Structure 1
Amino acid sequence: MATLLHIDSSVLPGEASSSRSVAAAFRKAWEEQHPDGTVIHRDLAADPVPHITAVAWSAGYAAPAERTPEQSAAFAVREALIEELEQADAVLIGAPMHNFSIPSTLKAWVDNVLLLGRTAGENPSAKGTPAIVVASRGGSYAPGTPREGFEYVRNYLEAVLDRTLGLDLDFIVPELTLAPRNPAMSELIPLYEASRKRAFEEAAVKAKELAERLAA
């Protein structure tokens, strides 16, 4: 049975969040392909993981028998998150752009699971795991747009998820999500609607393609 690790990080609930909505569509399509599969869902906005501390960081580089009780407790949290990543057959991440970057809750998850010598380094333990990121954003930061240089979501996640953790990374990018709510962007609503429609279509297609890939 296939296991999907589904991580949401938007502060907005349900349909109010584009990243949650598109990720939910991917998950639904995934579950249709894997009726007997398992989904592990972490909502980092509702139940945030602790930000990394000196104790939690140092525990990762200490032998278990040498850890203090405080280090052992701190690393137990990291261990659970790392094992979820290592045991997943695929990863789905909702990563909306908050002030040009990812939500701090998602950064906290990354800091907890990234451990040199285990999930990072010469032989990352989750290397090759397929990962789909729904990277929604209120405007457009595509190449050639005025704000191209402010795109710190996709660039960052490519560096940490792909080149550091070794995940097989792909993106779905719903953009211009603020157009329906910002009068100054009203002329962009047709582009927003087209981007949203394309994102939902990609979610269904990529979920099916991934299911076929894992079944091969």
Structure 2
Amino acid sequence: MSLFRLDASIMPTASASAELADLVEAQWSAARPGEPVVRRHLGTDPLPPDAWTLATTAGFTPEDQRTPAQRDALALAADLKAELTDADAALLAVPLYNYGVSQHFKTWVDLVIAAGPADQGLLKDKATVLVTVRGGGYGPGTPREGWDHSTPYLRRVLSDLWQADLTVVERELTLVGVNPALDHLKDIAAQQHTAARDVAHHTGRALAAK
């Protein structure tokens, strides 16, 4: 059984999403020693920004008329899709940036879809864990309630479009201790951090058992 892990943090040495994903992976690997983990890090190794355009336009271009760049983009899209579909389970660590998903992750999703043709049900019933973190607070009654445009999108793609067997591990207030304006929330942030770590441990064990 293999695990595909995707990271999207642009801060790999201080990544809150990677911390939780590491816990999930550790539990998975402890239960399945020696099983392969295929990794892709979009933050440190971003995809070419024009790849999606090239792959998409290639789909409307007769094969014998495609440019070398279009063929390369289609090959990249196929590789990205294969990494995801060939694995038995998936772990995606995707932080919230500027109230949405990063351009790196969006490009990855668009390229996987461009690889076609079966983007609907791509992960049907596949055990998939989404780790997502948010620097501030976005819950009911907070000043930024409704500003999280990342998590609903992620659920829509992974669960509704790709039909994954999805578990979400979430943590908020990750910028407490970094942004002085959030210092008054340090106790709540610490509680959320501990709770998220506990959920990550449990989720990793459950992922390995599926």
TM-score, scaled to structure 1: 0.88
Query: What percentage of aligned pairs have identical amino acids?
Result: 34
The CA distance in 1 between the partners of 2:117 and 2:165, in whole Å, is 17
Structure 2 counterpart SS, 1:209: helix
1:112/1:126 Cα in 2 relative to 1: closer, same or farther (>3 Å)? same
**What one-letter code is carried by the residue in structure 2 that aligns with 1:41?**
R
Equivalences, count: 209
Does structure 2 conserve the Cα–Cα contact (< 8 Å) formed by 1:118 and 1:125?
Answer: no
The CA distance in 1 between the partners of 2:21 and 2:82, in whole Å, is 22
Structure 1 counterpart SS, 2:117: coil
Give yes or no for the alignment of 1:12 onto 2:11: yes
The CA distance in 2 between the partners of 1:103 and 1:49, in whole Å, is 12
Q: Deviations over 1:13-62 (max 9, x none)?
A: 23x21101111111111111111211011111111112344321133466
- The residue that corresponds to 1:77 in the other structure is 76
Please state how far the C-alpha of 1:72 moved relative to its aligned partner: 2.0
Please state how far the C-alpha of 1:117 moved relative to its aligned partner: 5.1
The CA distance in 1 between the partners of 2:33 and 2:207, in whole Å, is 14
Structure 1 counterpart SS, 2:110: helix
Give yes or no for the alignment of 1:148 onto 2:139: no
- The residue that corresponds to 2:46 in the other structure is 48
- The residue that corresponds to 1:135 in the other structure is 132
1:65/1:89 Cα in 2 relative to 1: closer, same or farther (>3 Å)? farther
Structure 2 counterpart SS, 1:191: helix
CA RMSD of aligned residues (A): 2.0
Please state how far the C-alpha of 1:126 moved relative to its aligned partner: 2.5
TM-score, scaled to structure 2: 0.91
- The residue that corresponds to 1:36 in the other structure is 34
- The counterpart of 1:161, out of the listed 143, 158, 161, is 158
The CA distance in 1 between the partners of 2:141 and 2:61, in whole Å, is 47
